[in-house]
Amino acid sequence: MSEDRGLIRYLLRHQHTTPFEMCEIKFHVRVPMDCWRQWIRHRTANVNEYSTRYSLAIDASQRAGDGQWRMQSSDNKQGSDGFFDLERGKQFSEQELQLQNLSRSVYEERVNAGMAREQARKDLPLSTYTEAYWKVDLHNLLHFLWLRMDSHAQYEIRMFADTIGNEIVKRWVPLAWEAFQDYKVNAASLSNIEIEIIKALNLNGKDAAVEVARKFGLVPHAGQELKSNRERGDIESKFNSLGITIPWK
């Protein structure tokens, strides 16, 4: 067992993909269409999706609870930051239910009138569920999970990735999962900027590190306001996890 663990960790650490490509798994997934759009961007699997050209659309939609409506992030166009209060969230949830019920009613009316299913479906919301068989090898599955389990991934697809990883892959290939956690999920890579800041901090102290950060445009000149900066925020988060002093604070 220890030899197997050591070999798997070596292969993953040094990115030898062939053994992982030989290991395949097939999932039957049911996900909202907006989430599936992100999922299907990973063009590294064999996919057979439920077709609403031939079959009736699934009569189920994803809904957000009153406390689950997220606000747009001010520094990340693709992300969210914080939640609306419950009173406003309740209003959004009620509107969502009305919209989903109306769109489903219109869809069924069209189908019952004899409209082609491929056209009747066009006004269904992205919250409508779809189903698919998704066959993927372990190498590409772990890459998918690394990206979609990340805290920056959209919450909805992150929940699917967490379930696949922790409830299925962890039990299916426990040694590979252990190595994946060590060398990918919980590992940290350093950019050239981060290396230069750490070197300056260790060799010459905080002032020297601040000068390096200033050279790369991460912090302003003395006397100027320290404005929000996403790249600097990522560096600060990484430094905090490593126990490294943030020199400009």
Active site residues: 148
Residue 149 and residue 162: Cα distance in Å, rounded? 6
Q: What are the E-state strand segments in 37-159? A: 45-49, 70-72, 80-83, 129-137
The sign one gets for the Cα dihedral 84, 87, 93, 95 is: negative
Q: H or E segment at 238?
A: helix 230-242
CA 76 to chain CA centroid, nearest Å: 14
Contact indicator for 125, 9 with CB cutoff of 8 Å = no
Phi, psi of 113 (to 5 degrees): -80, -5
Per-residue tokens: 54: 């031939």
Biggest CA pair distance of the chain: 78
Residue 148 and residue 140: Cα distance in Å, rounded? 12
Beta bridge partners of 70: 83
CA 224 to chain CA centroid, nearest Å: 35
Per-residue tokens: 196: 């230069």
